[in-house]
Amino acid sequence: MKKLSRKDIKQEVFDLYDAYAHNKLERREFMEKLSAYAVGGLSLSALTSFLMPNYADNIQVPLQDESLNTETISYSSPKGGGEIKAQLSRPADTKVKLPGIVVVHENRGLNPYIADVGRRAAKAGFVSIAPDALSPLGGYPGNDDEGREMQRKRDRNEMLEDFIAAFEYLKNHEECSGSVGVVGFCFGGWISNMMAVKVPALKAAVPFYGSQPPLEMVDQIKAPLLLHYGELDQRVNAGWPDYEKALKENNKEYMAYIYPDANHGFHNDTTPRYDEAAAKLAWERTISFFKENLG
């Protein structure tokens, strides 16, 4: 059977997956709707398998990378109770304090892709912390479907406080210079926007296709913003015009990029929504932005 590629799949299929991944469709309804596109020798199981993340074959920076010191740490959850576990990663051979980056996961906990992104940030010369907001429920369960169900059980504002606590942990870490930014993806993009509102000491925020904060809170933003959107992501992009207007009216420092023909999740290299050119460019811009604003 021919190996599927992104070009073989209609945009409607990606839109269906987006609705499913963001709890707009239950799995049964998703599968029923998806079956309409299993035609021309393409089975439903093959199509489903193609859409789901493949973590094993797409890790860019292995956990055992000897150029990094990577470990699991924990800190107290301010609102959710118990401890939040997080991956802490930094260059192994550094002799000076480094700026820090909080890496915020999607709506499914700290899966292997986001942990990998945390290590990529460390590879670029930062101390990174990648918390798992599912820690009070036992942590990322090993697959995204269960992870999404678990994350739905947590209050998103309580999770926001958990990530703000990660900022404080990193800011005061002995290997961090105290200059800290945040990057987040999907749900983490919303967290990044909200941390820009809630954390005056935040030095930079980079939301990837994240929902926007309440417009009446935009005036509270102190950190410069770098915003990444996929052109085909109608759900999240619907809020961008009003957000941009509010940023301009409040004289906020920001840069925004909309990547042509890119879907929501285009940076995630474990799914067919991945857009290699857009992802690499967005990440290069992100690292340059952090270097400029974090020192």
Note the pLDDT tens digit of each residue in 97-139. Answer: 999 999 999 999 999 999 999 999 999 999 999 999 999 999 9
Cβ neighbours of residue 93 closer than 8 Å, sequence gap 6 or more: 67
DSSP 8-state class, residue 258: E
> With 70 as the cut, is the pLDDT of residue 65 above it?
yes
Within-domain flag for 58:
no
Work out the percent of the chain whose per-residue pLDDT is above 70: 98
Say yes or no: 42 and 88 in one domain.
no
Q: Considering the domain boundaries, does residue 1 fall inside one?
A: no
Whether 221 maps to a domain, the answer reads: yes
Q: In a 3-state reduction of DSSP, which class is residue 142?
A: coil
Q: Are residues 95 and 226 in the same domain?
A: yes
Q: Are residues 119 and 234 in the same domain?
A: yes
Q: Provide the number of structural domains found in the chain.
A: 2
Summarize pLDDT for 68-94 with one digit per residue, the tens: 999 999 999 987 668 999 999 999 988
Q: What is the pLDDT of residue 241?
A: 98
Q: What is the pLDDT of residue 276?
A: 96
Q: Which amino acid is at 236?
A: V
61 in any annotated domain: no
Same domain for 109 and 147, yes or no, is yes
Q: What tokens appear for 105 in the block?
A: 């996961």
Burial of 68 (0-12, 13-18, 19+ CB in 10 A): buried
pLDDT above 70 (res 267): yes
Domain check: are 14 and 86 in the same one?
A: no
Domain holding 33, by residue range, is 6-51
CA–CA distance from 20 to each of 31, 48, 131 (Å)?
Answer: 9, 12, 24
Q: How many other C-beta atoms lie within 10 A of the C-beta of residue 66?
A: 7
Q: Which residue has the higher pLDDT, 21 or 193?
A: 193
For residues 14 and 107, membership in a common domain is answered with no
10 Å Cβ neighbour count for 177? Answer: 16
